[in-house]
């Protein structure tokens, strides 16, 4: 194949008729069914089944199917109807009659499942070596781990076999493999992707995760796969997000204090993290030091408390009857879950509650937190020789996430001197998935390079808006500009400055007769670009803001220089009768300065 599998590229090829789903499947079949040297697959759908999925799309309207002909892989602890689910334990296997909720939503949207991927058994591990189906191998160097537990899912995307893949993430399983495979890995807000049809690890903490070539592709998957599932007791709808720091000209990002940074002797990782922090700063971010100690203490609860008992509970009947069939490191971890009492559970829950109160306070000072995704990477041989300690090192920056109910996106952040990828993770409170993915896109674009291990260049960013927003943007051109008399009407409503820009060159600009306000009028010709600011405020505050605007001004749609339309101040044509045309000044501040 001489084209990339990113979703935007495939949809373009389908729309122009240069490609059909059946032709894509025929091109993928030889690659999917060749020698599996990276130990990606546990079950690959046969050629006729793949063709059947493609043929079912014939005659369907691509515009009504957002994943028309898009191939994807599924971690083998997530159900696909008619295909065994093993959780990387053959003796545990069962064949579901129904697909997991998230899988079915994607298939209904036109996606084509390719098969079930390898994982650390029962999703217990962050390295990808704890599987009787073989240790998954890193596509950049086969002697190194691919990360886990969602190892096969990540490698399938990195090698260009799938457009995206589903994983799960309880302790970092959807982020560590992304970092080690040069991918976007999004761990959504817990509950917004249904876990019905997923073999539990820790049911109260589990999240279905997304591996993608671009942040935009991850946003597409989340938008289609999300939705409240009343039959999943842990499901919740994705609420509208707050301030979209991902697309703001300025934002505050937390950086761990030096005392909390740990790279396990890897100088390349340390250097690459510093470069990522500098990159975020260049995008308009202001770094703020954050004490990571309470987050790290929270992380230690995960494998030193009752959540290990929850792992045991998830497979108790099977484990008690067939413990000898469980992979040794996994058996050691899960078996330890039988030793916790109810009193231990409550003691840990109380401690978690106290730590969460401390950690939540950090969000008063920052919009987003950045950490390394993993401090270092290991050879497969070293991991198998010291499986517990080294795996714990991999979870240093990830294990606290779901305990604290946070959302996160892993983002590529460059390569070590030996050619192995490094990544960072952007972290925010729940329901901030869209801002996280938007900032991930900007950070990924600033890095540039290729997607996964495919060699395909990263395509230009897209301005998607697929997830619910609780914010409204408004362009201001006069007394509401920063530092001017009416700016307080924005800040009092918790509005934040998003961008300093200009309108499209389609407007005339007037000083109204009272001399205190300007009027912006769109014209058919002889227009100019006018300096403006774009602010973002909670939707609930927008009505009171608009109600206070006196005639002849009002709120309408203003076209910005980049072609986007936002709410903004406009003036009724009758309002400029007797007004002074000040278009030549290019903005309100310039005109005010001319009068001094």
Beta-carbon contacts of 10 under 8 Å, excluding residues fewer than 6 positions away, are 3, 19, 24, 69, 70, 163
H or E segment and range at residue 522: strand 518-522
- Provide the β-strand partners of residue 80: 83
Beta strand 565-571 with 285-290 is unpaired
H or E segment and range at residue 158: helix 151-158
- Whether the Cβ atoms of residue 308 and residue 340 lie closer than 8 Å to each other: yes
H or E segment and range at residue 285: strand 285-290
Other beta carbons within 10 Å of 590: 13
Can you list the residues of the chain whose pLDDT is less than 70? none
- Whether the Cβ atoms of residue 9 and residue 3 lie closer than 8 Å to each other: yes
Closest CA to 4 of 157, 138, 107, 150: 157
Other beta carbons within 10 Å of 438: 25
What backbone phi and psi angles, to 5 degrees, belong to 176? -60, -45
Query: Is 471-594 CATH 3.10.490.10?
Result: yes
Residue 129 to residues 419, 550, 586, Cα–Cα distance (Å): 21, 67, 62
Query: Is 7-447 CATH 3.90.1300.10?
Result: yes
Residue 203 to residues 172, 215, 310, 342, Cα–Cα distance (Å): 15, 27, 7, 17
Q: How far is CA 196 from the centre of its chain?
A: 21
Other beta carbons within 10 Å of 53: 20
**pLDDT, tens digit, 9 for 90 and up, residues 515-562:** 889 999 999 889 999 999 999 999 999 999 999 999 999 999 999 999
Active site residues: 75, 149, 173
pLDDT of residue 304: 80
Closest CA to 473 of 505, 496, 442: 496
pLDDT of residue 223: 98
The domain locations on the chain are 7-447, 471-594
- Provide the β-strand partners of residue 511: 518, 580
- Whether the Cβ atoms of residue 494 and residue 539 lie closer than 8 Å to each other: no
Q: How far is CA 409 from the centre of its chain?
A: 4
pLDDT of residue 429: 98
- Whether the Cβ atoms of residue 357 and residue 294 lie closer than 8 Å to each other: no
- Whether the Cβ atoms of residue 399 and residue 172 lie closer than 8 Å to each other: yes
* E strands in 146-199: 164-168, 184-187
* E strands in 539-590: 553-559, 565-571, 580-581
Give the whole-angstrom CA distance, residue 296 versus residue 64: 45
- Whether the Cβ atoms of residue 207 and residue 168 lie closer than 8 Å to each other: yes
Checking 336-345 for CB contacts under 8 A at 24+ apart, the result is: 336/308, 336/312, 337/306, 337/308, 337/309, 337/310, 337/311, 337/312, 337/313, 338/309, 338/312, 340/305, 340/306, 340/308, 340/309, 344/305, 344/306, 345/305, 345/306, 345/309
**CA angle, 266 then 167 then 66, to 5°:** 120
């Amino acid at each position: 194949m001489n084209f990339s599998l990113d979703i935007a590229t495939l949809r373009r090829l389908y729309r122009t008729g240069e490609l059909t789903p059946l032709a894509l499947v025929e091109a993928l079949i030889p690659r999917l069914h060749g020698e599996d040297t990276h130990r990606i697959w546990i079950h690959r759908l046969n050629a006729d089944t793949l063709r059947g999925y493609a043929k079912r799309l014939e005659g369907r309207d691509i515009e009504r199917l957002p994943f028309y002909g898009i191939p994807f892989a599924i971690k083998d602890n997530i159900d696909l109807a008619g295909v065994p689910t093993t959780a990387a334990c053959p003796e545990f296997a069962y064949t579901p009659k129904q697909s997991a909720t998230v899988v079915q939503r994607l298939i209904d949207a036109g996606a084509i499942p390719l098969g079930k991927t390898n994982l650390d058994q029962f999703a217990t591990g962050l390295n990808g070596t704890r599987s009787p189906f073989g240790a998954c191998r890193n596509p950049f160097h086969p002697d190194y781990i691919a990360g886990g537990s969602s190892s096969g899912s990540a490698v399938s995307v990195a090698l260009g076999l799938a457009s995206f893949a589903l994983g799960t993430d309880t302790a970092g399983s959807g982020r560590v493999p992304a970092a080690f495979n040069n991918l976007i890995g999004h761990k959504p807000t817990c509950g917004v992707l249904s876990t019905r049809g997923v073999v539990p690890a820790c049911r109260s903490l589990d999240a279905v995760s997304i591996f993608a070539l671009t942040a935009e592709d991850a946003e597409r998957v989340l938008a289609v796969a999300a939705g409240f599932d009343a039959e999943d007791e842990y499901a919740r709808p994705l609420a509208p997000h707050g301030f979209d720091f991902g697309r703001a000209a300025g934002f505050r990002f937390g950086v761990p204090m030096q005392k909390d940074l740990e790279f396990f002797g890897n100088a390349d990782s340390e250097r690459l993290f510093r470069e990522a922090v500098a990159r975020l700063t260049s995008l308009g971010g202001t770094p703020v030091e954050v004490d990571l100690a309470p987050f790290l203490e929270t992380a230690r609860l995960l494998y030193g408390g009752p959540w290990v008992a929850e792992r045991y509970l998830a497979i108790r009947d099977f484990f008690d009857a067939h413990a000898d069939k469980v992979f040794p490191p996994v058996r050691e971890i899960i078996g330890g879950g039988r030793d916790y009492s109810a009193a231990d559970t409550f003691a840990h829950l109380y401690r978690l509650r106290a730590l969460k109160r401390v950690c939540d306070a950090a969000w008063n000072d920052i919009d987003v937190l950045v950490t390394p995704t993993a401090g270092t990477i290991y050879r497969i041989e070293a991991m198998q020789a010291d499986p517990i300690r080294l795996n714990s090192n991999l979870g240093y920056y990830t294990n606290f996430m779901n305990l604290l109910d946070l959302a996160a996106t892993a983002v590529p952040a460059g390569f070590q001197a030996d050619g192995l990828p490094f990544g960072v993770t952007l972290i925010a409170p729940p329901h901030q998935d869209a801002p996280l993915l938007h900032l991930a896109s900007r950070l990924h674009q600033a890095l540039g390079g290729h997607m996964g291990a495919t060699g395909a260049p990263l395509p230009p960013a897209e301005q998607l808006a697929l997830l619910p927003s609780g914010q409204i943007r408004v362009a201001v051109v006069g007394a509401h500009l920063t530092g001017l008399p009416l700016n307080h009407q924005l800040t009092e409503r918790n509005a934040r400055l998003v961008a300093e820009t200009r309108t499209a060159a389609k407007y005339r600009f007037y000083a109204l007769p009272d001399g205190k306000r300007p009027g912006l009028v769109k014209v058919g010709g002889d227009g100019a670009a006018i300096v403006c600011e774009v602010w973002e405020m909670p939707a609930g505050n927008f009505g009171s803001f608009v109600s206070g605007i006196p005639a002849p001004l009002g709120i309408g749609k203003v076209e910005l220089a980049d072609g986007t339309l936002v709410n903004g101040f406009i003036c009724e044509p009758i309002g400029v009768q007797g007004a002074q045309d000040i278009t030549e000044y290019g903005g309100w501040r310039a005109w005010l300065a001319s009068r001094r």
